[in-house]
Amino acid sequence: MKEDPQIDVSILIVSYNTREMTLECIASIYEQTTSHRIQVIVLDNDSKDGSAEAIAARFPDVELIASRENHGFARGNNVASLRSKGRRTLLLNPDTVILDRAIDRLLDFADGHPEHRLWGGRHCFADGSINTFNCFRDYSVWSTFCSALGLNRIFSGSSAFNPRPYPGYDRMSTREVEVVTGCYLLIDTELWKELEGFDPEFFMFAEEVDLCRRARDAGARPIINAESLIVHHGGGSAPSRSIERRIQLFRAERQYYRKHMGGIRSFLACMFSEMRIIRLAILGSLMQLVTRRKNPRASLELIRRRREWS
């Protein structure tokens, strides 16, 4: 779709069984975004909780795509972006709430620093505490090795052994980062089109790592604006520790290694990833035996379903 210079930003929301959260998110967008012209596009991934009907009834100005299939996060955003008219595109999770004109602030910052081409903001939980999931470093063989041995947990405050979440960064200042989390990511629509959006091979997880990697290769310099603050609840569509969610995460990570690392680096990263999964499964089973929970071998499900993530 052709860009409309009068629309500052197209806001894309991909929802899946998050009706109440999605409604709260959309309401906060309209309430808190007052100085820019916006286009809100929601793609609902065949939710069974009445999400599409509730959105259509409460927000008739939203461009709603009620899909009959679950596209996942990456492909869902690609489909929704086909309707984008804004000069910039904002990817926004349905489990977020806009605070204190956050989108206006982020757009103003982008206008003042257009050379970055990709921007993010600060996140907090509902109680106001900082949610550090707004940015992180790229995957590397070293970070995967540290995760395999659990060094990232043992030395969680060390940037050497736990490099990915920027442990020394308190999120209270503006700084360049390698990856902006896809739940609140602003990008020039021209760059989004140049990159052809997300790689649809990533159903869920790692898609923003891949996008930011390709954006950096194209000259973008992702940056976090600390003045733009949102609530990000996290895990709105699935339990954060469910087996299915873990399988999707491990599969996505290995896809990324094979796509961007290649050769011996990809082999090592995949090997360390498998070591981590085996460690987690064994530790989980031991914990269940100690606590005498039912079905003590449940954590070994990850190993039994190796084909699905390898």
Contact between 32 and 98 under an 8 Å Cβ cutoff? The reply is yes
Question: What domains are there in the chain, each with its CATH number?
Answer: 9-137+177-232 (3.90.550.10), 243-309 (no CATH)
Positive or negative, the Cα torsion across 263, 264, 269, 272?
Answer: positive
The pTM score is 0.91
pLDDT score recorded for residue 239: 47
Other C-beta atoms closer than 10 Å to the C-beta of 34 total 10
pLDDT at 244: 79
Helices 207-217 and 243-260, interaxial angle, to 10°? 20
pLDDT score recorded for residue 236: 56
Residue of 38, 41, 117, 46 lying closest to 79 (CA atoms)? 41
Residue 296: predicted pLDDT: 46
For the chain, first and last CA: distance in Å?
Answer: 37
Per-residue DSSP letters for 81-115? HTT--SSEEEEE-TTEEE-TTHHHHHHHHHHH-GG
Residue 263 identity (one-letter amino acid) = G
Q: What is the pLDDT of residue 250?
A: 86
Residue whose C-alpha is closest to residue 207's, from 221, 229, 233, 187: 187
* Low-confidence residues in the chain, pLDDT < 70: 1-5, 235-241, 291-299
| pLDDT on residue 1 | 61
12 phi, psi to nearest 5 deg: -105, 125
DSSP output for 196-249: TSS-TT-SSSSHHHHHHHHHHHTT---EEEEEEEEEE---SSS-TT-HHHHHHH
pLDDT digits (tens, 9 = 90+) for 83-111: 999 999 999 999 999 999 999 999 999 99
* Distance separating alpha carbons of residues 103 and 178, to the nearest angstrom: 21
Place of tokens 């940056």: 223
pLDDT tens per residue across span 35-44:
999 999 999 9
Q: Is 282 left (phi over 0), alpha (psi -120 to 50) or beta?
A: alpha
- Torsion, Cα 169 173 175 179, to 10 degrees, reads 60
Residues 6+ apart with CB under 8 A from 215: 117, 118, 187, 191, 195, 222
94: nearest Cα among 33, 37, 20:
20
Contact 275, 283 (CB under 8 A): no
Phi, psi (deg, nearest 5) at residue 112: -80, -20
Rounded-to-10 torsion of CA 41, 205, 280, 296: 40
Q: How far is it, in rounded angstroms, from Cα 249 to Cα 235?
A: 13
Say if residues 174 and 164 touch (Cβ distance below 8 Å): no
* pLDDT score, position 245: 80
What pLDDT score does 298 carry?
53
User: Residue-wise over 95-127: b if at least 16 C-beta within 10 A, else e?
Assistant: bbbbbebbbbbbbbbbeeeeebbbbbbbbbeee
